[in-house]
Structure 1
């Protein structure tokens, strides 16, 4: 939690549940990444948090944008980003969305299969295209390897076909998974992509770009490597693979830029003992909040992303808890197996904060599941 957010919560006490985001902190993270990886162009992954204040600040800083839909492209344009700084990075796109993006001036598109390549040739003729390679996501707390990417052999054939279709086979991309906690993943992926890059260049393609994707982590409950550890590993791998003839480099951070800039403030709805309160352990203690998986905390599915909590009783005696949301749905459980311990004095009606919730929380919240209003957002 930044001092700016702490002051805002203390002075305003906004109604819960709400998300408070310090936009200055996003700028700090952007500058930190730019300094750590100066040769790469930063394409902010809009899906992480598409709020206009976030996009406007990043556009003013000169950031480019990785969009997953026409709607995200439109938001980026409205925020002041020129179409030349927008990539349509989703490999699954409607033909109408491709055509609309192309008409707006977007000229960079991702793909990973023949069918998507055909759509690009039809709806965005002459565009720069890049093929997403399937790489290992080991070490990622939110893997992305099942739905996206193709094999090296297929990517080679696709890139050669892209040229035959009148497209510009611009580059290759990969993604090591969101909230990646190991630097090894980037080194292995770069080595894999570099071999194909060289092979395609020797086959006569004017291939010029490698997109390193996102994956840089935010600290939640557990420590993660610092950004310079990732960028040092990336630099070593790029030098080993390409020597001094580096291609154009692109990175697509989302969580890293906005994650620790946000805090969710929530009210404790109920603290109860489940089971026999006369048993030796007094029954299992459950803490129910006014935000849950349907209110924006979808990344707690499988207890993958483990947020850190702050309470009014920190420093006092704690005990094990299960933590759940307020809805009348049995799936609305945040943590049951991850050994969360909260203060024994925590009571109904008190406020708690979930730290580093600036990424994905606002966009994952449902419209009105069980009638609960969408998460309120405050950008300061």
Structure 2
């Protein structure tokens, strides 16, 4: 398997990053800020009518937050700790939504006291907490959607409720003095099947109509979550194609008078900006006659690559070594048997790959530093450099 870096970075960009990498000891992550800026500009060009709420959990670095703040982004927040980080760099609370449906009542109160007035929910208990701790706020109800089989990182089951329950929650919200504002869904992270947005938007349309006709409640917003892809091994359609199709789905159901549209990108904004640089620690075979090499590297599942669990996300790996390749198993450095990134999906790496050679894991700007353990086996958290 030969990775062409020009498929992931402009040549001069990769050369600049590699020159920087040569001066630093592995493992570490490099983030190219211009790539994030370009991704934001592309998304706003494709969806000029939408409000972008960056999902901070994808990469919560202050450098990323400040860059997107200056671009005009809003922010989707999952905890009081993310909230503090975003507020502390001067983001107005009107640009913030509390998108986590699993939250303590005292955390809701904290958000409310900081000025946040837009909250996600998917259960009666949570809704009642919001009514007490954040009176008069706008709420949007997250519904269950399909798409788990076509998303590389599914987000179904744990979040969202059945559309019938959503109707009940909106009615209760009005009774509790909250503002029934909109519906949200998430079709799964790294979603490759664009048609799943069609089914989700159709569900939203039914909820809008039933509430207005039967209960006199007019909803004003659709939060379509994230799901737009990054550039991993398994290629996807372009963002332009996603936008064309999704806008067509919206207009088929809502006509030209669209409600307010919110997008919550995380992966698609930051993933392509990252290169995780690791070093080969060991190359070994398990027996005298084994035809399979194991390549152990100084990063693994517990130091940023947790999304290789079940081999879900397949990161492009570039190496300087050239020549004939052989399928390998790639594993991390810790004393945990689960610390194997790729065993069934066979990566091909050069036969002359040796100890101290470097592996460049491309498209690793999302969910690497935020998933990196603190001191598992004593290894420190993943270092990050912003260029």
SS in 1 for 2:43: helix
In structure 1, the residue matched to 2:63 is 53
Query: TM-score, normalising length from structure 1?
Result: 0.97
Matched, 1:274 2:286: yes
Matched, 1:198 2:205: no
In structure 1, the residue matched to 2:42 is 32
In structure 1, the residue matched to 2:101 is 91
- Write out aligned runs for 1:292-303 (5 A): 292-303=300-311
In structure 1, the residue matched to 2:139 is 129
8 Å Cα contact 1:182-1:225 kept in structure 2: no
SS in 2 for 1:364: coil
In structure 2, the residue matched to 1:345 is 352
Structure 2 counterpart of 1:252, from 243, 264, 269: 264
8 Å Cα contact 1:43-1:63 kept in structure 2: yes
8 Å Cα contact 1:140-1:180 kept in structure 2: yes
In structure 2, the residue matched to 1:156 is 167
Matched, 1:320 2:331: no
> Separation in 2 of the partners of 1:102 and 1:176?
28
In structure 1, the residue matched to 2:220 is 208
In structure 1, the residue matched to 2:297 is 289
8 Å Cα contact 1:293-1:301 kept in structure 2: yes
SS in 2 for 1:337: strand
> Separation in 2 of the partners of 1:234 and 1:78?
35
Measured after TM superposition, the shift of residue 206 of structure 1 is 2.8
8 Å Cα contact 2:208-2:218 kept in structure 1: no
Q: For each residue in 1:105-158, what CA deviation from the matched residue of structure 2 results, as whole angstroms up to 9, or x when unmatched? A: 000000000010011001111100000000002310100001000001000000
> Separation in 2 of the partners of 1:101 and 1:5?
40
- Root-mean-square deviation (CA, aligned residues, Å) is 1.1
User: After the TM superposition, which parts of structure 1 deviate over 6 Å for at least 4 consecutive aligned residues?
Assistant: none
In structure 2, the residue matched to 1:6 is 15
Measured after TM superposition, the shift of residue 10 of structure 1 is 1.6
> Separation in 2 of the partners of 1:180 and 1:343?
31
Structure 2 counterpart of 1:188, from 194, 199, 209: 199
Measured after TM superposition, the shift of residue 245 of structure 1 is 2.2
SS in 1 for 2:369: helix
> Separation in 2 of the partners of 1:98 and 1:206?
25
In structure 2, the residue matched to 1:80 is 90
In structure 2, the residue matched to 1:105 is 115
> Separation in 2 of the partners of 1:229 and 1:150?
29
Q: For each residue in 1:144-189, what CA deviation from the matched residue of structure 2 results, as whole angstroms up to 9, or x when unmatched? A: 0010000010000001100000000110000000010111111111
Measured after TM superposition, the shift of residue 4 of structure 1 is 3.3
8 Å Cα contact 1:5-1:21 kept in structure 2: no
Measured after TM superposition, the shift of residue 5 of structure 1 is 4.8
In structure 1, the residue matched to 2:126 is 116
> Separation in 2 of the partners of 1:244 and 1:200?
20
Counting matched residue pairs gives: 375
> Separation in 2 of the partners of 1:257 and 1:72?
18
In structure 2, the residue matched to 1:141 is 152
User: Which range moves more in the overlay, 27-36 or 202-211?
Assistant: 202-211
